[in-house]
């Protein structure tokens, strides 16, 4: 575990400035054990393997990717339902990666989670009043006499009849149950909400209503969101910034406009080509569909170098040998691909754009006396200066050999 600081940050960092959440090099490996009497550890599921990102106050970051890429594990690490294997998570300027349960307790009210399945996440034996009122009681937010009133208010905020507090979850539809989950999450007035596929289990006709509710809630209470989804279309409406995950890593992160209009990573391009595009449909066309070959490799034994290379049409030897860094290539845009920026160089032999930054040649071998600032390549957030791809390609061309 990295060295961490459990004392509250200084006033300038806490409260009003800086990101509400800063995640750096976060890793979660689950042990794989042998069967039999003596259950030895025989491998590790590399569910999350060194992700870095920031969530700004009152803003939302979308986290997308196929099933199994580590989105939920990331959400559960941030809410500390899981302990990280390594890495740092700063919430409101304070390191939370190493806090124990007792130290985490006061912060639990500030980071809440909305779960995917509104059927299994609500206790069927408890009334709505108990479900929404319990966090108020546990954290002693209001005196006992006022709990019921507060529950009624919260039900009203999420568009439910406040008089239904004594009903049970099975008396509600899926969309209504998710509203109960949202009311419960709002009870403690969190600063950050981790919404793990909050509408995936709902009918398409209901999804938009719940997303609209979340949007209203965000505006009204200024809550920051980490919005986890496999559906790029939903994230597009909710999040001004989006991170794309593949096999435990972030492969591209950036502002919505750049990511949707000029995605650089082949995986983002493939995901987008599979998503319905209303604008494109309106002008009578659609994006060319990119069909990815093969299955997602096992996170127990991921491919060397770039994890996407086994399914990538652009991959060459370099990709197997050297992992591409998450390189900042625009004001608010980072991408982890040796061939970033080459998507429109049709017919030309592409030159990798990362060689100069990594100090390697095209065969992936270290170049003598190259200076590489590896730490800056793993940083959360964006720098004021970034890699100009055209310039870098020229520099890379010189080391490409
Ligand atoms: N408790 C656990 N023990 C062992 N492996 C786990 C555990 N939780 C998740 N994994 C594995 O970690 C990887 C990432 O899982 P995760 O649920 O985070 O992915 P996801 O992108 O959220 O997928 P989904 O959308 O299906 O939930 C998967 O290979 C999964 O099997």
Residue 162 falls within a domain, yes or no?
no
CA–centroid distance, residue 148 to ligand 1 (Å): 37
> Residue 221's CB: how many other CB atoms inside 10 A?
14
Quote the radius of gyration of the chain (alpha carbons, Å).
23
SS3 for 96-130 is CCCCCHHHHHHHHCCEEEECCCCCCCCCCCCCHHH
- 399 and 311 belong to one structural domain: yes
Element (H, E) at 37: none
- 219 and 351 belong to one structural domain: no
Domain limit, last residue, from 223, 246, 269: 246
CA–centroid distance, residue 146 to ligand 1 (Å): 40
**Widest pairwise Cα distance in the chain:** 76
In short, whether 70's Cβ falls inside 6 Å of ligand 1 is: yes
98-119 pLDDT, tens digit per residue, is 999 999 988 999 999 998 887 7
CA–centroid distance, residue 64 to ligand 1 (Å): 14
Q: Whose CA is nearest to atom 2 of ligand 1?
A: 30
> Residue 63's CB: how many other CB atoms inside 10 A?
29
- 90 and 239 belong to one structural domain: yes
| Average pLDDT of every residue of the chain | 86
Ligand 1 atom nearest to CA at 196: 22
pLDDT(369) > 90: no
Highest mean pLDDT among 106-110, 239-243, 262-266: 239-243
CA–centroid distance, residue 73 to ligand 1 (Å): 6
In short, whether 24's Cβ falls inside 6 Å of ligand 1 is: no
- 311 and 400 belong to one structural domain: yes
Range of 379's domain? 305-401
ipTM exceeding the 0.90 mark: yes
Domain limit, last residue, from 246, 262, 288: 246
pLDDT(389) > 80: no
What percent of the chain stands above pLDDT 70?
Answer: 87
- 310 and 380 belong to one structural domain: yes
Residue 206 falls within a domain, yes or no?
yes
What domain count does the chain have?
Answer: 2
CA proximity to 175, closest of 227, 117, 250? 117
| C-beta of residue 392 within 8 angstroms of C-beta of residue 340 | no
- 218 and 320 belong to one structural domain: no
Q: Write the CA distances from 89 to 141, 222, 240, 242, integer angstroms.
A: 26, 21, 21, 18
In short, whether 72's Cβ falls inside 6 Å of ligand 1 is: yes
CA proximity to 183, closest of 164, 207, 155? 155
pLDDT(246) > 80: yes
Q: What local confidence, expressed as pLDDT, does residue 374 receive?
A: 65
List alpha helices for 197-231, DSSP H.
Answer: 204-221
268-282 pLDDT, tens digit per residue, is 999 988 776 655 555
């Amino acid at each position: 575990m990295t060295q961490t600081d459990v004392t509250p940050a200084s006033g300038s960092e806490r409260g009003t400035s800086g990101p509400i959440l800063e995640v750096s090099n976060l890793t979660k490996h689950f042990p794989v054990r042998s069967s039999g009497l003596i259950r030895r550890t025989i491998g590790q599921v590399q569910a999350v393997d060194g992700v870095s990102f920031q969530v700004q106050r009152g803003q939302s970051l979308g986290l997308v990717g196929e099933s199994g890429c580590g989105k939920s594990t990331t959400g559960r690490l941030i809410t500390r339902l899981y302990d990280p294997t390594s890495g740092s998570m700063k919430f409101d300027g304070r390191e939370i990666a190493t806090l124990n349960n007792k130290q985490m307790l006061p912060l639990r009210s500030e980071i809440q989670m909305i779960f995917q399945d509104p059927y299994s996440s609500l206790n069927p034996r408890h009334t709505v009043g108990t479900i929404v009122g319990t966090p108020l009681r546990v954290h002693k937010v209001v005196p006992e006499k006022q709990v019921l009133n507060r529950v009624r208010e919260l039900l009203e905020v999420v568009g439910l009849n406040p008089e239904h507090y004594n009903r049970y979850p099975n008396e509600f539809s899926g969309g209504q149950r998710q509203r109960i989950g949202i009311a419960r999450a709002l009870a403690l007035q969190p600063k950050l909400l981790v919404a793990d596929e909050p509408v995936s289990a709902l009918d398409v006709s209901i999804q938009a209503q719940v997303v609209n509710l979340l949007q209203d809630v965000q505006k009204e209470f200024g809550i920051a969101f980490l919005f986890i989804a496999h559906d790029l279309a939903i994230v597009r409406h909710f999040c001004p910034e989006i991170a794309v995950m593949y096999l435990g890593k972030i492969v591209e992160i950036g502002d919505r406009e750049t990511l949707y209009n000029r995605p650089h990573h082949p995986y983002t391009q493939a995901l987008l080509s599979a998503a319905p595009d209303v604008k494109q449909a309106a002008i009578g066309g659609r994006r060319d569909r990119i069909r990815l070959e093969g299955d997602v490799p096992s996170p127990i034994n991921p491919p060397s170098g770039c994890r996407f290379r086994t399914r990538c049409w652009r991959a060459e030897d370099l990709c197997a040998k050297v992992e591409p860094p998450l390189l900042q290539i625009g004001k608010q845009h980072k991408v982890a691909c040796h061939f970033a920026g080459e998507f429109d160089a049709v017919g030309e032999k592409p030159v990798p754009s990362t060689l100069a930054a990594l100090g390697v040649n095209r065969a992936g071998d270290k170049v003598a006396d190259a200076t590489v600032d590896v730490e800056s390549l793993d940083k959360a957030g964006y720098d004021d200066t970034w890699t100009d791809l055209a310039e870098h390609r020229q520099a890379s061309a010189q080391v490409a050999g």
